[in-house]
Structures are given as C-alpha cells and as structure tokens.
Chain A
Amino acid sequence: MNGFDFDVIDRSLGYLFQDGMMFTLKLTLLSATGGLILGTLLALCRLSKIPLLSTVAGTYVNLLRALPLILVIFWFYFLVPYIGAWLTGASRPVSVGGFTSALITFTLFEAAYYCEIMRSGILSVPQSQTAAAKALGLNRVQVLCSVVLPQAFRNMAPVLLTQTIVLFQDTSLVYVLSLTDFLGAAVKVAQRDGRLLEMYVFAAVVYFVICYCASQLVRYLQRRTAVSR
C-alpha cells in the first residue's frame, strides 16, 4: 500500500459528499419514510379479514421479497415511464429522472420488507389491548391509531432502524443505473483519475464507519427504550 494516493480523495471530497452522499441520504430517508407508511398499510391489509385484500397484499409482498433488488430496479426503471404515460394519458412514455425512478423503486421494494416487520409488530401487541380499547368505547380507527400501532412501532423500532441501515447500504445498487450516489461518485472519480484502489477502499471505509456507528446507536437505543415487562 506504498503508493496509496490520499490526494485524490482530498481533491474529490466535495463532490463525493455534497453530491454523492446527499443523494444517498435523501434517497434513503425519503424511501424509508414512504416505505414505512406503505408497509404499514400493507401489513394492515395482510391482517385484514377481507380475503381479497389480504391475498393481494400477501402476493405483492411475497413477490417482491422473492426477487433480487437489481432486477426490481431494472423493472421499474423501464416500467415507470409507461405507467406515467398511462396515468397522464400521454401517447408516449413519460421520461422521469433517475432520482424519481430510484425513489419509486426503493419505496415500493422496501415497503414489502417493512410490511413483514410491521405485521409481526402488530401481532406482538397482546389481544387484550384491543379488547380493552374496545371496551373503553374506542372505534376501530382509534383502537388502531392510539393503541395498537404505537405499541407495534415501539416494539419493532430496533428492527425497523436496522432495516433502514440495510436500505442505506442497498441504495448503492443505483450504480446499475449510472446515478451519482455516494458509490457512483466514487466510481466516477476512480475511473476519471485511474485511482480504483484508493476510491473503492475509501468508499468502503466511509460506508463501514456510518453503518457501524448507526448499528451501535440502534443497540444503545434498544437498551435505553426497552419496555420492562
């Protein structure tokens, strides 16, 4: 490692973090939020007593969980323009930006994973809680929003956060669409300056530091917020 060129990293820090990391973080946070909302709705559908609703949600979740993320990224990259044309009634496929396409993909894909987490979260709330809430005269929406879901979120918070760290790592796969996320920026600098070794090692170190700190934080929060029963 004698010829390790720190200068190339130093020169490209602005591009790597202001362009690349901002893209990665924006994509992670937005698709985590969207995925969690959609995932919770899917979980409610899966647990619903209406057979059609639970079958459709179950099929969607199982289908997406059986496919590799890269394949799903390609699917939506080509499909979204056609869906856009269909929605707006345009005669030609609508061109959407790379970021929008990636955001839609990750939201829909992660929703399947968040759904499974939320489903077990909802099931982890004892039946007696629902019964007690009903006995107090709460209606179904109130039972769900003030009693069941808050406890489900709390029980599942560590798993949800860990899944978000996984999502953060998975966003690097937008590389296959040549988007400039953090890894994409590192690859572009590496190829421009012929410094593959330096840039890939640096990218690995940055991802490691972020993910390791985040997972330690999750562990700490888990200890702090554990409900004593």
Chain B
Amino acid sequence: MNYYWNWSIFFEPSPYGNLYIFTLLNGLVWTIFTALLAWTLALVVGTLIGVARTTSSRWLRILGTIYVEFFRNIPLLVQMFLWYFVVPEVLPKTLGDAMKQIAPPWGIFIPAFLCLGFYTASRVAEQVRAGIESLPVGQRMAGTALGMKPTQVYRYVLLPASFRIVLPPLTSELLNLIKNTSVAFTIGLMELVGAARSMQEFSFQVFESFAAATSLYLVLNLVVVMATSWLERSVAVPGFMGSSTTSKSKKTGNSTVNEVAP
C-alpha cells in the first residue's frame, strides 16, 4: 500500500488555471442547477401525465401509460444518448443543425436537462397518480356535485390534497434526480462526478477527489432532506400515509385541516 496522500491538492491550481477546489464547487453548482431545472420540468410534465392516467378518458389514460412505460423501461444512460446523439438527427434538418451548433456547455446541458426532466416526470407521474387514487372517490363526486368542471375538480380538490400526501415519495424522487444528474457526465456535462473525474485525471489524486465529491453529495443530500422534512411537517395531511404520528399531527391538525377546506 504505497498510495501518496496529498490533501493540500485542493488548493493547488488545475490546468485550467483555477484551484482544484473551485473545479469541484463549480461541479456542485452544475449538479444543483441541472437538478433544479429538471425538477421543475418533471413536476409540470409529471403532474399532467399523472392526471391523464386518472381521467375518465380512455385515450388519455392509454397515452399516460405509454409515456410512463416508455421512460421507465429504457436505462437512463441510453435515454441520455438518445437525447444527445439521436434527437438532433431525427428532428427536421434546420432545427437539428441548430441544436448541434449550440456552444458548450449549453449544447450538452440542454439535452441533459430534457432527458433528466422527462425521465423524472415518468416517476413523478406515478406518484401523482398514486396520490389521486389514494383519495376517497367521494371527493371527486362531491366536487362534481358542487357543479365543478373536471379541470376545477383537479385544480381545487384532487391535486392540492394529493400533492400533500405524496410529498415524502416526491422527496426521494428529488434525491434520485440529484443522483441521476451524474449520468449527464457521460455526455460531457461537468457536474460533480465529472469535476471529480477531471480532477483525478489531472492531479492523479484519486481518493482525495472522490472523497471530496462524496462529502459534497452527502452535504447536498442532508440539506435537501432537512428542507423537505420541514416542508413535509408543515403541510402533512393528518390521518394519511404521509403524515407523522397521530399525536404529532394533532398539534398541527387544526391549521392543516382548515387549509384543505376552501
């Protein structure tokens, strides 16, 4: 075992001129930025698909199922290659050429963002569907009986309640998304794993680079878990699977129940 440890490597300049620690922090920023934008896309598309799978229209349900099955049954890495290499070829020539000519890093970022967003949407859709299906049928019926249109039933009755119920599984999907962002490294996005890998290749300090990336991922995880558990506690619906213990939810029970009723 003759590995040469050099923990001060982080404060030595990389071939690009800046210190190695900034290479890593830059990677962390790319990871967070990509994950947040993809998460926004995933929530919007995922909600639409999830709702489509619970509507009474047969065609919308089939469409939603096809979407979910398509994105779940192809490895994320293959999807990344499809977005990066295949989509510009399949699109009309002018649009495809325009996509290929976007200057880096955006030429890599855009396919990575779309890939992660649409992939995560398929997982969000399953959670949203589960949330809506976990609500008593009476909620939908009552909404309809009050004279609401189907869109209003979803907007004011079903979605607000189901989002609060599926918040804990959505949190773990966000954590998965942050981890999955590393797959974009394969098409050249310099996110955290990419930064650690580049640092390792230039400095030959393998274990220091990966240890630093590992610690940054753990910190990021911890921050997300703390932030979302605060959010979960403040919006939990008492008596549903997402809520904390009965005694705990009783304390916040009154305020949260009032929020459900318009």
Interface residues of A (CB under 8 A from B): 1, 63, 66-71, 74-75, 78-79, 82, 85-86, 91-92, 169-170, 172-173, 175-176, 183, 187, 196-197, 200-201, 203-204, 207-208, 211-212, 215
Of B77, B82, B206, B218, the residue contacting A172 (CB under 8 A) is: B77
Q: What are 5 A-B residue pairs whose CB atoms fall within 8 Å in the complex? A: A71-B213, A78-B206, A197-B89, A201-B82, A207-B75
Please report whether the interface of chain B is mostly helix, strand, loop or mixed according to DSSP. Answer: helix
Check B1–A204 contact: CB distance below 8 A.
no
Of A63, A176, A197, A204, the residue contacting B79 (CB under 8 A) is: A204
| A197 to B74 Cα, complex, angstroms | 16
CB-based A-B contact count at 8 angstroms: 102
* CB neighbors of A among B47-106 (8 A): 69-70, 72-79, 81-82, 85-86, 89-90
B217 within 8 A of A: yes
Q: Which residues from A are CB-within-8-Å of B180?
A: 68
| A197 to B73 Cα, complex, angstroms | 19
Question: What is the size category of the interface that chain B forms with chain A?
Answer: 35 or more
Check B183–A173 contact: CB distance below 8 A.
yes
Q: Which residues from B are CB-within-8-Å of A196?
A: 85-86, 89
Q: Which residues from B are CB-within-8-Å of A207?
A: 73-75, 78
Q: Which residues from B are CB-within-8-Å of A68?
A: 179-183, 193, 217
Nearest to A201 among chain B residues (CB) is B86
Distance (Å) between the CB of A55 and the closest chain B CB? 17
B246 within 8 A of A: no
Distance (Å) between the CB of B169 and the closest chain A CB? 14
Distance (Å) between the CB of B212 and the closest chain A CB? 11
